[in-house]
Amino acid sequence: MAHILFTTLGSLGDLHPYIAVGLGMRERGHRVTIATSEIYRAKVEGEGLGFYPLRPDISFMLDEPEVMRLAFHPRTGGAYLFRKLIAPFLEQSYEDTLVAVADADLIVGHVIAFTTRTVADVLEKPWISVALQPAVFLSAHDPSSISGAPWLDHLHQLGPRFWGPVHRILKRAARPFGKRINVLRVQAGLMPLKNPLFDSMVSPLGMQAWFSSVFAVRQPDWHEPTLITGFPFYDRLVPGEGMGSALRDFLDSGPAPVVFTLGSAAVMSAGSFYTESLEAVRQLGCRAVLLIGSDVRNLPAGAVPATVHIAQYAPYSELFARAAALVHQGGMGTTAQALRSGKPMLVVPWSHDQPDNGLRITRLGVGEVIPRSKYKAARVAAGLRRLLAEPEYAEAAGRVARGIAAEDGVGAACDGLEATLAAVTKSGA
C-alpha cells in the first residue's frame, strides 16, 4: 500500500484532524507519517503513526506569554505569526520536509505548511492541500469575517462585485509576506510563484475541505477540485485516555453545567476570561466546568464554589454532550465538537479564523457572539440566560448536530486521498 505524509503546523486544532484521517488511512492498510512540531511526537507515536519533526518546535511559545498575546491580537496577530513564527523557520521547515517526504507516495499538506508545495515541486511528488476552515477560501460569494475589522461584516450583502475587488486587494497586499518562499524556490531551481503566500496553499491536484457542508457550502470561486468531507474528529490529549474520574463524578452529581473553554491555543492568552466567566456563573447560579489549560495564571482568584469544576483539559466529545450550554473561542476544532454536541453556545473570538467561525455559528442560529473586548460577567450571564430559556437555540443546535452526524469526515477524506492515489498511479503508468 501507499505511504502518506501529512504536514501540519499549529495548535491541537491543527493536528487532531490529521491524526483522525491518518488513523483512517492506516486502517485501510496505508503507512502514515505526520510531520509536525516536535512537541507532538508522543501524541502521534502513541497512536501508532509515524512521526517526523518539522521545525519550528512551537514549545517555545508556551513559555512566552507576550508571544501568545501578540499572536492572538485581533488585527495584527496573523501578520505577527507569519513574520515572527513561520517565516524565520521556512528554510528549516523546507529541509525537514525534504527528508520526511523522500519515500512518500502522496503528501497531504496544511495550508500554512508553506514549504509543502516547494518540496513537492522539487521532488515531483503528488500533493493535496487541506483547508480546515472556510475562511481559507476568501470567497467573494461568501465573504469571511475578517479579524480586527468587524464593521466589514455589515458589507457582506454587497456581494461579489464588491468583495471580488476587495479580496484581490488583500491578496496583493499579502505578496510581500511570501518573498521568502520565492527565494527558497529559486534557490531550489524552481520558478517563483506569482503570489507565493496564497499559491503555496493550493495544489493543482485539488483541495480537501475538512469541515462540514452544514457549516459552509461550496462557492463558485473556490479552487477546483475541492472536496468537502465533513469534520474528521479526534480529541484525546493522551492516546487512549478519556475523561478523568473527578470530572465524571462532578457531571454525575447534578444538573448539566455550562462549559467554558478557550481551546488549546487562545487559552495561553486568556486574560480575564476565566475571572469573568466565574462571576457570570455566580450571577446565574448554575453549575459550570472551566477548562483552563496548563497555565496557572488562568486559575481564578479566591474561593471556587462547589458547583464549579476546574480541569486542565477534557475530551470535548465526552464533555460537551453533557453540557447545558458552551462558551468558547471559536477555534475550528472546538467549534466542530461544539456543533457536533447539539448544544447552544456563546462564542468569544480571539483572532484569525475565529470571528468568521463565530459569524457562521450565529447564521446557523445555534448561538451568539460576544466580542472579546466586551466579555464581561453581566453580558455573559445575560447571553446564557437567552440560550437556556429560548428553545430556538436548542432546536437549531439539534438540527445542526443531526446533519453533522450524517457525515463521515474521516471516511470521505480517506476516499478522496485514495482516489487521488489511484489517479496519480494511473497517469504515471
126-182: per-residue pLDDT in tens? 999 999 999 999 999 999 998 988 889 999 999 999 999 999 998 998 888 889 999
Task: Name the 3-class secondary structure at 406.
Answer: coil
Give the whole-angstrom CA distance, residue 349 versus residue 331.
8
3-231+408-428 falls under which CATH superfamily? Answer: Glycogen Phosphorylase B; (3.40.50.2000)
Average pLDDT over residues 46-54: 97
Mean residue pLDDT across the chain = 94
Q: Please check whether the domain covering 245-405 is classified as CATH 3.40.50.2000.
A: yes
Cell of 92: 528549516
- Locate the DSSP E strands across 27-118: 31-36, 50-53, 106-110
Give the whole-angstrom CA distance, residue 316 versus residue 335.
10
Is pLDDT at 74 greater than 70 in this prediction?
Answer: yes
Choose among 98, 113, 132: nearest CA to 9: 113
327 backbone dihedrals φ, ψ, rounded to 5°: -130, 120
Topology alike, domains 3-231+408-428 and 245-405: yes
pTM: 0.95
Cell of 178: 511570501
**In the chain, what are the domain boundaries?**
3-231+408-428, 245-405
Give the whole-angstrom CA distance, residue 202 versus residue 116.
10
350 backbone dihedrals φ, ψ, rounded to 5°: -90, -60
Band (pLDDT 50/70/90 cuts) for residue 429 is very low
Each residue's pLDDT tens digit, 322-352? 999 999 999 999 999 999 999 999 999 999 9
DSSP secondary-structure letter at 3? E
28-42, 59-73, 336-350: range with lowest mean pLDDT: 59-73
DSSP secondary-structure letter at 24? H
Cell of 138: 476568501
Band (pLDDT 50/70/90 cuts) for residue 117 is very high
